[in-house]
Structure 1
Amino acid sequence: MASIEKHGPSWRVIWRYQGQKQRTTWATLDVAEEAKAIVEGYRGNRTAEQVYIDMGVLTPEVPVPTTPTYREWAEKWLGSKTRISPGSRARYKQQFRDHIFPTFGDTPIGDITTIAVGTWVNDLRAVMGSPKTVTRYYSAMFAPMKAAADQGIIPVNPCKATDFKRDQRADDDTGEHKAVYFTPHQFEQLRAAFPERWRVLLDTLVETGVRWGEVTALAKMHLVAPTKRTAARVRVWRAWKRGEGGQRYLGTTKGRAKRSLPIGRDLYDALAALVDGQPDDTLIFRRADGRELDYSDMYNDVWMPSLIAARRCATHPPAPRGEQLAGATGRCRDYGGTRDSGEPCGARVRPGTTRCPSHYGPARNAVSMCGCDGVLVIDQPASWHDLRHTCAAWLFSDPRMTPLMISRRLGHATLATTSDIYGDLMPDLEESAVDAIADARKSAQGTRGKGARRKR
């Protein structure tokens, strides 16, 4: 970035700033190297006069322009945003308050360096561990600094100059992406374990790839009946959001990616049956009282029990806690029984066993390890969102589907987002590119020389 060259009895430090050559001259090599370190510490974003000032050999005649502190600028930037939801605004405030302002809040944005940002990221990793969580805070730090650079308040965004990669760290180049991709057979095993009432919800998630907030916002008015010339469709035009106070409301989809998705006739008929005879604004998937579904409730009360049931074998059930013991009395803790927190359980044992009723038999989340036919086998926990990942995996496995078509169906703002999330599903497409080029060359070789006339 900066270089040192001998110039007569002195030494010059040379670099470029905003396209213009800068140079400072020093009496000794040691001093020149110190000046060079300053230039590179600012990644070249320093004039020769500023370097002389930094080295203490020049006093500025006018005050050096100051920049607002990060706190002042971030609050001003957030207040100017006109196209973010109340929930997003609340998350920015929380991120600034908890992990950005304590480090950079009182620092002028012009004094924030790439080294400082990189050090802060590493400190976050030590506290949080999760690369995805670190990425969210980095993105919150990045956005106001980008706006400051775009408006010329600072020469460059110091966050952009770091070597940070989304959801990744140097010793884990695959990031934290641990999606579960169900095979069609595994999905049917999972579906069979679900209550009949919720199977259409599973079908909708895996066939459309919509997000949880989108599928639970679908209403009767979003169903488009098939015609002789067109397939049935579902309009994904809205999603559940959270306001600054945590209340839920219906807003636009993520990235404002409204889309109208073709669906199969069987799925359309199943969805239409759920709202038959109901007003147009009736939610397709709803509680008994008609209100929207809550993710946590559905995860704990429906998803997890069904997933565990699919992973248990009737012939080889999970090992039970406790055992039958004639004449056993007393407390669960007397025989080693503990609560989920690990504390000894003081409940009375079930007569003739060594555990209380709550702790007798397999643990709540225990699954069979036999691998028998009919038992769902997956190597990591799964959630509702993994049905969206599964939909993407099935689409990528079909040669008729292009990444752009898949990106649009999933509602990603850009194709780059699809590539970042599902890049591990694309190697076959990359290999197909080799075959495509080879086929094109072969077709040309078969016609080489044809149609060309030699001038006489």
Structure 2
Amino acid sequence: MKWRTGGSGPWDGEQFDRNGDAKRFKALVEAHDHYRPPAEQLVEHGFGYLVPGHAPAPEEPTVMTFREYALSWLETLTKPSVETKRKYRERLEKHVFPTLGDLPIDKITRRVMREWQTALLATGLSRKTIANIRGESVFPIFRASCRPGEGEEPPLRSYNPLDGLALPDGPRFERDILETPEDAAILLTAAYEVDPEAADLILTALATGLRWGEVAALTPEAVRPHAGTVEVRQVLRKVNRRRCTPARLLPSMMSGESE
């Protein structure tokens, strides 16, 4: 940006990297009758670096909290369904944000994460549930924070604090397994005494090995007692905490007839 001092005097000028800065500076020069603006005006309008000997105040680095980064990461996901993303956010709000939400994401240490896991276990959550929370959302969030940004911004973290961190030891429970036909008979007898319709589902699950969502979505025509077969073509889904109309399986996912 060039101008004549006072409008007709010697040439003066400044070079800028951005056109917008050049236009703002030009307006300042014109406001001062084509003279170079005084130092205080340059500083006030963001041109302090043009003042000899002026040291601009260092910019405060932007501190991003775990909550802010986690929510922005969640918005970038494209593969999970809307219901899956809702579940991720619900778990973050309930089990993660109360402890980690307001902490700067670059200051969270392995010790903090170990204490977070231990606290979750103390609330009664199982090791399996804690592992799901870790694996589905928290671990990927930290992993993403170790990568450069989309505009080649430097990574927020240099390591993932969950990488190599073992799950806390919790109480061990023995599974109840039906080992003999007599055990199954006792269970089914009790089930039919309590709720015959639910007992039908239990019997079907025991006999076929199907998952609950598959058993609960079976239609009458899918069960063929005369042939001893069950045809699985749909599953029951949960959307916004409610069971919804069964979703049809893709042909490649259909299990056909199961003995």
TM-score, L = length of structure 1: 0.35
| Counterpart code for 2:242 | Q
**2:216·2:235 contact (CA, 8 Å) conserved in 1?**
no
Alignment match of 1:156 (pick from 155, 159, 163): 159
Distance 1:226 1:145 in 2: 55
Alpha-carbon shift at residue 108 of structure 1 (Å): 2.8
Alpha-carbon shift at residue 186 of structure 1 (Å): 0.5
Do residues 249 (structure 1) and 254 (structure 2) align?
Answer: no
1:100 matched to which residue of 2? Answer: 96
- SS of 1:97's equivalent? helix
Alignment match of 1:84 (pick from 71, 80, 83): 80
1:209 matched to which residue of 2? Answer: 209
- SS of 2:163's equivalent? coil
Matches within 5 A, 1:385-396: none
Alignment match of 2:65 (pick from 59, 64, 69): 69
Distance 1:157 1:251 in 2: 39
Distance 2:138 2:89 in 1: 11
Structure 1 residues 126, 251: CA separation in 2 closer, same or farther (over 3 Å shift)? same
Distance 1:223 1:200 in 2: 11
| Counterpart code for 2:117 | V
Alpha-carbon shift at residue 220 of structure 1 (Å): 5.0
Alignment match of 2:187 (pick from 179, 185, 190): 190
Unaligned runs of 5+ in 1: 1-61, 265-456
Matches within 5 A, 1:9-408: 68-128=64-124, 130-139=126-135, 140-149=137-146, 153=155, 154-164=157-167, 169=169, 172=170, 176-183=172-179, 184-195=181-192, 197-220=197-220, 232-243=229-240, 246-250=241-245, 258-260=253-255, 262-264=257-259
Distance 1:190 1:91 in 2: 33
**1:149·1:156 contact (CA, 8 Å) conserved in 2?**
yes
Unaligned runs of 5+ in 2: 1-57, 150-154
Distance 2:148 2:225 in 1: 49
- SS of 2:146's equivalent? helix
- SS of 1:238's equivalent? strand
Specify which structure has the higher proportion of helix.
2
**1:241·1:248 contact (CA, 8 Å) conserved in 2?**
yes
- SS of 2:231's equivalent? strand
Asked which structure has the greater CA Rg, the reply is 2
Superposed CA RMSD in Å reads 3.7
| Counterpart code for 2:115 | T
Structure 1 residues 225, 163: CA separation in 2 closer, same or farther (over 3 Å shift)? same
Distance 1:149 1:142 in 2: 11
**1:70·1:108 contact (CA, 8 Å) conserved in 2?**
yes
Distance 1:207 1:78 in 2: 40
Structure 1 residues 247, 200: CA separation in 2 closer, same or farther (over 3 Å shift)? closer
Identity across matched positions, percent: 26
**2:230·2:257 contact (CA, 8 Å) conserved in 1?**
yes
Alpha-carbon shift at residue 115 of structure 1 (Å): 1.7
Alpha-carbon shift at residue 64 of structure 1 (Å): 9.6
Structure 1 residues 248, 63: CA separation in 2 closer, same or farther (over 3 Å shift)? same
- Aligned pair count reads 188
Higher relative contact order (CA 8 A, sep 6+): 1
1:14 matched to which residue of 2? Answer: none
